[in-house]
Amino acid sequence: MTVGTHVRRVRAHVTGAASTAVRPVLEASRRPARVLAAFPAGIYLEVRTELEPAVIAVVTGPATRLPNSMLLAGALPRVTMGDEAFVGDGSVDVGGLSLRARRWWDPSPRLGEVDPATLPPPSALAGRGTPGLDGNDAVELLAASCASGWLLGAVTAAERLVGLGPGLTPSGDDVLAGLLVTLRHLGAATGTARAVDLAGWLGATVTFDARTRTTPISATLLHCAARGEACPEVLAVLRGLTGRQPLGPALRRLCGLGHTSGADLAQGIAIGLETVRALGGRG
């Protein structure tokens, strides 16, 4: 007679570092998730939750440390798209791995006070790759509307850009993400309240129905950007613009991201920079 046996799967328990952006999802009740995408240096998990970020990136080594990331010191588990996972009660369980955060980093650090007169022109960000939507009329409308303080035009352009372009993070979303983070951080650092207010309006616009208009990963990153959260490469460029570190190397690292993602983010930063410069002297 054959006797059936039940094999219990044993998970390896490891620790890592995580963005404070993912803390609400990690510390919520345990929920199912699925592997949305898997690469050698990163796994994207979509959590079945109404909280944001709804997508968590588990990354290692050379991967970009996105604002919705958990960083693992060792190797990633072998998983494929569609595999089940669980997130919550303080851990991420995927494949044979159970990951808990022991250290945290802030993806939205403040720049401190900055004299707006010391900010360089947007041309300081030029010549580092071609954005995916170079010459697009919606991008041009966004830039002109933001710099002039025309809210209706800015909102109209932003709505047209959500989800525009191919890939996991469409170019339109990357431009918007770079813009939102720049308006919020440079606006606050220079005391340009109108730029910060504009970031609030645009953030509410692009996140309202992002889950239905773009990829899950990109929707999550738009929510992060609306709160001023970004990857270290973007934040380094903002520090470079304020004279806190060399701008050239930071810009090269940013523009090396993805096929056009880095150049798209830089385009959004340039629009935000010009907007802060233009609005800074107005009441």
Interaxial angle between packed helices 247-255 and 232-241, expressed in degrees from 0 to 180 and rounded to the nearest 10: 150
Residue 4 has a pLDDT of 46
Please list, in sequence order, all residues whose beta carbon lies within 8 angstroms of the beta carbon of residue 81, skipping any fewer than 6 positions away. Answer: 35, 36, 37, 38
Residue 230 has a pLDDT of 97
Residues 29 and 126 in one domain: no
Residues 167 and 195 in one domain: yes
Residues 235 and 146 in one domain: yes
Residues 139 and 249 in one domain: yes
Residues 161 and 90 in one domain: no
Residue 244 has a pLDDT of 93
User: Kind of pairing, strands 69-72 and 55-60?
Assistant: parallel
228/222 Cα distance (integer angstroms): 10
Q: Domain tally for the chain?
A: 2
Residue 164 has a pLDDT of 96
CB atoms near residue 252 (< 10 Å): 14
Contact 108, 124 (CB under 8 A): no
- Position 231 in a domain: yes
Among residues 79, 105, 131, which one ends one of the domains? 105
- Position 1 in a domain: no
What residues make up the domain containing 97? 12-105
Residues 180 and 205 in one domain: yes
Among residues 105, 140, 163, which one ends one of the domains? 105
Residues 73 and 157 in one domain: no
pTM over 0.85: yes
Residue 166 has a pLDDT of 85
Residue 12 has a pLDDT of 82
Residue 215 has a pLDDT of 94
- Position 59 in a domain: yes
Residues 202 and 72 in one domain: no
Residues 63 and 138 in one domain: no
Among residues 75, 105, 135, which one ends one of the domains? 105
- Position 89 in a domain: yes
Residues 78 and 122 in one domain: no
- Position 124 in a domain: yes
Please list, in sequence order, all residues whose beta carbon lies within 8 angstroms of the beta carbon of residue 122, skipping any fewer than 6 positions away. Answer: 270, 271, 273, 274
Residue 281 has a pLDDT of 62
| Token code pair at residue 91 | 């851990």
- Position 3 in a domain: no
Residue 9 has a pLDDT of 55
Across 77-115, b (16+ Cβ under 10 Å) vs e yields bebeeebebbbbeebbbbbebbbbbeeebebbeebeebe
Residue 270 has a pLDDT of 97
192/99 Cα distance (integer angstroms): 41
- Position 7 in a domain: no
- Position 229 in a domain: yes
Which residue positions in the chain have pLDDT lower than 70? 1-10, 281-283
Residues 120 and 101 in one domain: no
Residues 126 and 265 in one domain: yes
